[in-house]
Amino acid sequence: MNKFKHKFTPVYNFTDTEFFIPDDNVEKEYLMFLGRIEDIKGTKECIDVALATNCKLLIAGNIQPGHEQYFKTYIEPHLNNPLIKYVGPVNDEQKRYWLQRTKAFLFPIKWEEPFGIVMIEAMACGTPVIGFNRGSVPEIVKNSLNGFIANNIEEMIDAVRKIDTINRKTVRQYCVDNFDTMVIAKQYIELIQKIATK
């Protein structure tokens, strides 16, 4: 017997697509990791991908309390490598600056994350996302359209090597069409009206 009376209607998170915008005049020179630096976020996996593809990696985010040893063991030893750059926590302006200079945003999560807002912030800047096939990634990343879904490190490496096949304008438009503030607000209003009339 189904204990739920009504069907579920998902309404996703949103981003400000008038703030997070592309900059076509800057070089796309980095892969990027943005988030809490801990194992389940896959920071080390991003480093592995960058080294395997000989790409620069920008790491932005805070070291979570209790995860200092993870940083010291898996991240810090690579910071002498010219390919790996750690900039620490970033505010929205800094986030936008780096995302505009990123050729691919890496999201190798190792848990069932319900929604990664950083993915749509990257897409709003025209930056394709390469994410592991976990959590909400398959709902947000459309393979070969706005990024790639990878099942492991090897597939993520392969995706980086073909990232130029993704049209950055398409990535941006997909985000505007599906995750813009007004789009999501409209979905909330429609859902509330639907519930109210039942």
**pLDDT tens track for 105-142:** 999 999 998 888 999 999 999 999 999 999 999 999 99
Sheet holding 30-34: strands in order across? 84-88, 56-60, 30-34, 102-107, 129-132, 147-150
Helix (H) or strand (E) holding 63: none
**Least reliable range by pLDDT among 1-5, 69-73, 81-85, 177-181:** 1-5
Q: Where are the beta strands (DSSP E) in the chain?
A: 30-34, 56-60, 84-88, 102-107, 129-132, 147-150
Task: Provide the mean pLDDT of the chain.
Answer: 94
pTM: 0.92
Residue 16 has a pLDDT of: 96
Contact 105, 32 (CB under 8 A): yes
